[in-house]
Amino acid sequence: MALVAPALAAWLAAVVLLTCPVVIGVAVALTAAGAAAVLRTTASRRRRRAGGPGAAARAGLAVLASVAVTATVVAFRVHGVTTGPVPDLARREAAVSVEAEITDDPRIRPHPGGVTRRDTAVVRARLLLVSALRERYAVDVPVVLLGPAAGWRALLPSQRVRLRGRLSPARSGEPVAAVLLVRGPPEPIGVPSAVQRAAEVLRAGLREASDVLPEDQRGLLPGLVVGDVSRMDEEVRLDMTTAGLSHLTAVSGTNLAIVAGAVLALSRLAGLPLAVRAVVAVIAMLAFSIVARPSPSVLRALVMGMVAALALGTGRTRDGLAALSATVLGLLVFDPWLAREWGFALSVVATGGILVLAPRWRDRLERRMPRMPRLLAEALAVTVAAQVAVTPLLVLMSGRLDLAAVPANLLAEPAVAPATVLGFAAAVTAPISMDLARLLVRPAGWAVGWITAVARRAADLPFATAEWPGGAPGLAALAAVALVGWVVLRGRARRRFAAALAAGALLTALVAVPVVSPWPPPGWLLVACDVGQGDALVLAAGPGRAVVVDAGPAPAPANRCLRALGVRQVPLVILTHPHLDHVGGLPGVLRGRAVGAVVVSPGRVPEGEAGRVSRQLQAARIPEWRAVRGMRWRFGPTEITVLAPEPGAVPQGTGEGSIANNASVVLLVRWSGPPRTATAHTVREPDGPSGEPGALVTPATEGAQVGEAQEGGAQVGEAQEAEGASGVRGDQGAPLGAALLAGDLETEAQEALLRSGVPRVDVLKVPHHGSSRQAPAFLAATGARAALVSVGAVNDYGHPAQVTLRRLRGLGMRPYRTDLSGDIAVVADHGRLAVVVRGR
């Protein structure tokens, strides 16, 4: 325990000093060093008098010395990245041409919720040569490169590139001298190192061998084995995060311990002496580090994994804790900025929790439950200890509690070791024999399939994650709850009572909640999916069938929404216009579902996204039709009519974005009954006073007549009516109501549609996520009582605009927003329409 206090003190000093000027770091270092010298002199005198210094004196000396060393290192490192020619050029935002060496894998990030796909590359590198006008400097400082993704995917760490761009100052406290905003693609001027080339050969071999697996498994296996998530399915990533399993795709000490353990077991079976076994294990771990990229994060995982494996294997937790503390000190001296990384904190705290709590809890489980196998007791203790240790940090980071994490990790853990060992063996074998690598990958795929199944089921559980206050208030609330829990659970009777309550709560969450508050609600007709900043609407078309209008910005949210609704067949997809926030999720709609045809806007702006959609449909052999005014379909209880755009009469608007928005396909949706009686729901208004009950929406008295337009162009015969859609019969009868789905129309197209006649409806899908570009006369002409706003909680566009929300309320409409209410359903209720919100 003697090293714990110095490690924590050094960590805290690094966190504080990284946000302070260099002179403060120097002052702290000198003060700590002076105090340590005084304390050492005092301790020496006491040792001469009493025979040795006390434990408190030794601990204080160690703390002051650690703080002095850390402060000195921080001061020098901060000075190195805040002074010199590169920071000076960045403050002037100078245009430069540079030569740089890549230090980590380029990270490609899609534009979040944008109207077009603008992938961006974020690359860490070391700047070696800088030229600006007549200035030319040879330097060696860390920078971040930010620019278009084109040309970066094939580059590897240690490769040198030539770039042009503009320097910009880095944020305070960042471990870089500047940010280079790159213009154009990089120009490679060298080859990667032999180690990096070898690593890429092995990683590429594992990716190729994984191609024999299903789509969700082929992307997860390389991530599970070596942290390569370049092909990981977005839905799998989301499920893993929700289930608390995302740590499995980050290279950690667990991966290294599994590989080393497997090699040691094989070496022992082969009868090798202990020294040889140790050498073989070291070689295996080094090989694994090469395959997983020898970056600082991998080296950190290597050290942490060795510490945890050593402590658990010997049972000497005190030595393990001392080794962990020494590791923290060494890593902070090597890279002080680790002190500010959540990943570093999570790995250290999780390892500490395993070292301190897991052995005690394992032994207690064995004493109280003699029939429990030791392996199961250890797995349970390790999982719970790690989760308990990291929960305070998760609260500080994200303000949530992962309630499904412990059971999900317990169920997934048995599959991690075989998947890792077989995947690593396949990576090593692939350059020699791809056939043998594929043979090894298949059983690894079974293990990965189990993990994805666990993640999917856990993510679908009610309350898989629970909202919790973030920051210091959330941490204080968590500490208070933990203290109350500790007091309550001290007695055996109390523990049994608490266990009974927990079992009852779990039963309620798993059984009662889906019954009392089901999703999807009975009699649903339309669902506005919560897909972030984008549109994705689902129209009932019969049991297990639905028409999809737009697909949101990403595949995973669209697929999850359809999965929750039980949609297995999609007879028709309508994409209102080719912006990323409406078409980016199309692969999620297509995934595992039979799709009949896709209707697209006659407008082809932007051409890049329109072409991307066409290529996706051609690859899936799905017909692509252009929307024509008057096209009409009936599926189950739903009749869909295309109202706009008029061929050759699309208002242009200002800019490419407005041109595409004004060419949106506008749909009139009508429902007829009689439906099955649905349960009445109370709807709370997200934007109104708390507790205000939601009123039922009644059908418009003037109906929703648009005339019997002739079908033209790529016409589609009316689909045969199917019985039932979540309990709603498809036979025609009394009208239930109507909805107007207006895409992203802006004022010019709204006024044009107003001139040609706007039908009166009950529900309006507010155009363009509730932007300010709304024609008041158009909104009033719809006569709607409910306004659905599909919008992301985080967006840079100011959606929905407050002026639009005030205008909707002034017209008697009640706004329902996906950013506040999650998925929103329009349901049939006793011959009329009602709105039900799922909640976030």
pLDDT tens-place string over residues 348-366: 887 778 778 888 888 887 7
Q: Are 294 and 105 in contact (CB under 8 A)?
A: no
pLDDT given at position 12? 75
Read off the pLDDT of each residue in 280-304 and give the average, rounded to a whole number: 69
| Highest mean pLDDT out of 293-307, 365-379, 787-801 | 787-801
Lowest mean pLDDT among 234-238, 267-271, 295-299, 823-827: 295-299
Read off the pLDDT of each residue in 565-593 and give the average, rounded to a whole number: 90
Confidence band for 714, pLDDT divided at 50, 70 and 90:
very low
Task: Look at residue 68 and tell me whether its pLDDT is greater than 50.
Answer: yes
- Which ranges in 18-160 belong to alpha helices (H)? 22-50, 55-82, 85-91
Read off the pLDDT of each residue in 587-611 and give the average, rounded to a whole number: 87
Task: Look at residue 130 and tell me whether its pLDDT is greater than 70.
Answer: yes
pLDDT given at position 439? 93
Distances (CA, A) of 416 to 202, 248, 269, 421, 478: 20, 8, 22, 9, 31
**833 or 655, which is more confident:** 833
Tell me which residue of 752, 681, 745 sits closest to 516, measured CA to CA. 681
Lowest mean pLDDT among 65-79, 240-254, 514-528: 240-254
Query: What does DSSP say about strands 786-789 and 763-765: parallel, antiparallel, or unpaired?
Result: parallel
pLDDT given at position 691? 30
Give the sign of the dihedral formed by CA 276, CA 280, CA 282, CA 283: positive
Confidence band for 790, pLDDT divided at 50, 70 and 90:
very high
- 3-state SS track over 460-514: HCCCCEEECCCHHHHHHHHHHHHHHHHHHCCCHHHHHHHHHHHHHHHHHHHHHHH
Task: Look at residue 65 and tell me whether its pLDDT is greater than 90.
Answer: no
Lowest mean pLDDT among 33-42, 189-198, 580-589, 767-776: 33-42
pLDDT given at position 722? 32
pLDDT in tens, 495-551: 666 667 666 666 665 555 555 557 788 889 999 999 988 999 999 998 899 999 999
**59 or 83, which is more confident:** 83
Q: CA-based angle 423:426:427, to the nearest 5?
A: 90
Task: Look at residue 203 and tell me whether its pLDDT is greater than 70.
Answer: yes
Task: Look at residue 62 and tell me whether its pLDDT is greater than 80.
Answer: no
| Highest mean pLDDT out of 118-122, 142-146, 466-470, 677-681 | 142-146
| Highest mean pLDDT out of 245-249, 716-720, 785-789 | 785-789
Task: Look at residue 220 and tell me whether its pLDDT is greater than 90.
Answer: no
Tell me which residue of 596, 739, 752 sits closest to 661, measured CA to CA. 752
What region, left, alpha or beta, does residue 611 occupy, with left being phi > 0 and alpha being psi -120 to 50 degrees? alpha
Confidence band for 39, pLDDT divided at 50, 70 and 90:
low
Task: Look at residue 296 and tell me whether its pLDDT is greater than 70.
Answer: no
pLDDT given at position 467? 65
Tell me which residue of 380, 381, 378, 406 sits closest to 391, measured CA to CA. 406
pLDDT given at position 721? 34
Lowest mean pLDDT among 93-107, 158-172, 278-292, 523-537: 278-292
Give the separation between CA 446 and CA 448, rounded to whole angstroms. 5
- 3-state SS track over 173-202: CCCCCEEEEECCCCEECCCCCHHHHHHHHH
Task: Look at residue 653 and tell me whether its pLDDT is greater than 70.
Answer: no
pLDDT given at position 588? 87
Give the separation between CA 122 and CA 108, rounded to whole angstroms. 6
Give the separation between CA 477 and CA 468, rounded to whole angstroms. 9
pLDDT given at position 436? 93
Confidence band for 233, pLDDT divided at 50, 70 and 90:
confident
The helix/strand/coil state of 255 is helix
CB-neighbour burial class of residue 696 (10 A; exposed 0-12, middle 13-18, buried 19+): middle
Partner residues linked to 12 by β-bridges:
none
In 309-439, which ranges are E strands? 400-402
Q: Are 479 and 468 in contact (CB under 8 A)?
A: no
Instruction: List all residues 6 or more positions away from 651 whose beta carbon is below 8 Å from its beta carbon.
Output: 662, 748, 749, 751, 752
Read off the pLDDT of each residue in 313-338 and give the average, rounded to a whole number: 71
pLDDT given at position 69? 78
Read off the pLDDT of each residue in 272-298 and give the average, rounded to a whole number: 70
Lowest mean pLDDT among 113-117, 203-207, 614-618, 734-738: 113-117
Read off the pLDDT of each residue in 50-55 and give the average, rounded to a whole number: 54
Distances (CA, A) of 258 to 159, 281, 416, 500: 31, 11, 9, 36
Task: Look at residue 250 and tell me whether its pLDDT is greater than 90.
Answer: no
Confidence band for 719, pLDDT divided at 50, 70 and 90:
very low
Mean confidence (pLDDT) of the chain: 77
Tokens of 683: 């709807």
CA 530 from chain center: how many Å? 15
Give DSSP secondary structure letters for 355-367: HHTHHHHHHHHHH
Give the separation between CA 97 and CA 189, rounded to whole angstroms. 14
Q: Which helix (H) or strand (E) holds 614?
A: helix 607-620
In percent, the amount of the chain with pLDDT more than 70 equals 73
**203 or 29, which is more confident:** 203
In percent, the amount of the chain with pLDDT more than 90 equals 20
The helix/strand/coil state of 824 is strand
Task: Look at residue 628 and tell me whether its pLDDT is greater than 60.
Answer: yes
Task: Look at residue 671 and tell me whether its pLDDT is greater than 50.
Answer: yes
Q: Which helix (H) or strand (E) holds 446?
A: helix 434-460
pLDDT given at position 512? 53
Amino acid at 673: G
Task: Look at residue 681 and tell me whether its pLDDT is greater than 70.
Answer: no
Task: Look at residue 17 and tell me whether its pLDDT is greater than 60.
Answer: yes
In 199-278, which ranges are E strands? none
Partner residues linked to 828 by β-bridges:
833
Task: Look at residue 14 and tell me whether its pLDDT is greater than 70.
Answer: yes
pLDDT in tens, 332-350: 888 888 787 777 777 788 7
Give DSSP secondary structure letters for 556-610: HHHHHHHHHTT--EEEEEEE-S--HHHHTTHHHHHTTSEEEEEEE-S---SHHHH
**170 or 667, which is more confident:** 667
